[in-house]
Amino acid sequence: MNPDAPLDHKIRPFKRSLAEITIHTLLLLVPIALVLFTVHISQQRTWAQFMQTLYEIGEFLHGEVGWIVSLDVAIMFALFTISVGGQVLGEAMKASKMRGDLGTIAEFVAATSIVITIMMLPYYWEEPTRFLALFGVVPAVVVLVFLAAQLGSWVFVNTEGQVRETERLQAVNQELLEELGRWSSKPWPLVILVNLAAMATGSGLAFAIRNAHDSLWLMVASDLVVVSLMFIGILLFYFLRFTFKDHIKLGFSWLFLIILSVVPLVFLFTQVVVTYQGWSPLRDLPGVLIILVGVANTGFLPATNRSKFWMDWSIQGVARQFAHRALVRQQDVVQAQWTHLKEKLHSAKHVEANE
């Protein structure tokens, strides 16, 4: 293989780059929202005060958005010029990796612009005429997203390098499928609803029986929020764990799990204190334990030697189902790419031999 052979066209779908930008946006937006929400809940602030904080953040960003977006656009064009303008030098495979890194940076820059735009919306909501400002912001953000998606999808590698990469991806996918093992065979919405109903109702009843009966529906609603967030954390954790070998993405899976476990529990503790005018371990601990034991049972028990019933009706089983679907779909895509590239390489060698 000639490492300095001419570079070929992109092999990554445009939609995949858009999906990565969406993931980067969520990785920025969700922790920010959870931190703000937790701070307000822990300080027992009202919903109106929470919205006022969002309004003030939006007002601040509105005043700064001009130079922020201009800087993002300048950075994006610089990355674009470096990547596609022949400014990345060196051995072809290393240069291609550098272009991939530049594409990741571009996707992150685009994600920050989306987050800033979203966080300005509460400020605009207070006075609808302010939405006119979006006519100046949204086009710039759209340009950023488009350029970032283009940069993220252009992987300049010679054909032999592409074949090696697809073969590596096939091996990684097969290894992940073998590690995955079993998964839930039940419809995932039904499994999630059953788990939510069981835990939220059980915990809500435990709180209400030990306290005032008129608080039953309030505590059930609070428990639904808490358990839902914890389930999201479990699903993200296992999905990333079972579908990626990348250490950065695995690190994010732990970050999601920790945030979406600690924040809901802080919210639940605060809700109990506010509703019942204080905290009593003997009175309130049973409701918390039902959630903790239930979440541990459905999400964190080792899957080895677990019954088919547990795998079918556990949140971990649903996460494994999602991961299996994603891996099979990815395997089909990679196999199709490999077949196409092998045919292309064979044709190129045939033409070269005839010359």
The per-residue pLDDT for range 174-200, each reduced to its tens digit, is 888 888 888 899 999 999 999 988 888
Q: What is the CA radius of gyration of the chain?
A: 25
pLDDT value, residue 352: 65
Instruction: Kindly report the number of other CB atoms within 10 A of residue 56's CB atom.
Output: 12
What is the mean pLDDT of the segment spanning 131-160?
80
Please, which residues have CB within 8 angstroms of residue 237's CB and are 6 or more apart in sequence?
Answer: 253, 254, 256, 257, 319
CA distance 341 to 236: 33
CA distance 262 to 75: 36
What is the mean pLDDT of the segment spanning 34-42?
72
Please, which residues have CB within 8 angstroms of residue 133's CB and are 6 or more apart in sequence?
Answer: 62, 124
CA distance 133 to 111: 20
42-49 own/partner pairs: CB under 8 Å, 24+ apart: 42/266, 42/270, 44/270, 44/273, 44/274
The per-residue pLDDT for range 311-326, each reduced to its tens digit, is 999 999 999 999 999 8
What is the mean pLDDT of the segment spanning 70-81?
84
pLDDT value, residue 321: 93
The per-residue pLDDT for range 102-145, each reduced to its tens digit, is 888 888 899 999 999 999 988 888 887 888 888 888 888 998 99
In the predicted model, is pLDDT for residue 46 greater than 80?
Answer: no
* Residue from 155, 159, 164 nearest 349 by CA: 159
pLDDT band at 247 (very low <50, low <70, confident <90, very high): low
**DSSP type of residue 44:** T
Mean pLDDT estimate for the chain: 78
Q: Please report, rounded to a whole number, the percentage of residues in the chain having pLDDT higher than 90.
A: 11
In the predicted model, is pLDDT for residue 85 greater than 70?
Answer: no
In the predicted model, is pLDDT for residue 61 greater than 80?
Answer: yes
What torsion, rounded to 10 degrees, do the Cα atoms 323, 329, 333, 339 define?
Answer: 110
- Confirm if 158 and 123 have CB atoms less than 8 A apart: no
CA distance 271 to 278: 10
pLDDT value, residue 158: 63
- First vs last C-alpha separation in the chain: 19
203, exposed or middle or buried, with CB in 10 Å at 0-12, 13-18, 19+? buried
Please, which residues have CB within 8 angstroms of residue 95's CB and are 6 or more apart in sequence?
Answer: 7, 88, 89, 156
Write down the pTM of the prediction: 0.62
In the predicted model, is pLDDT for residue 87 greater than 60?
Answer: no
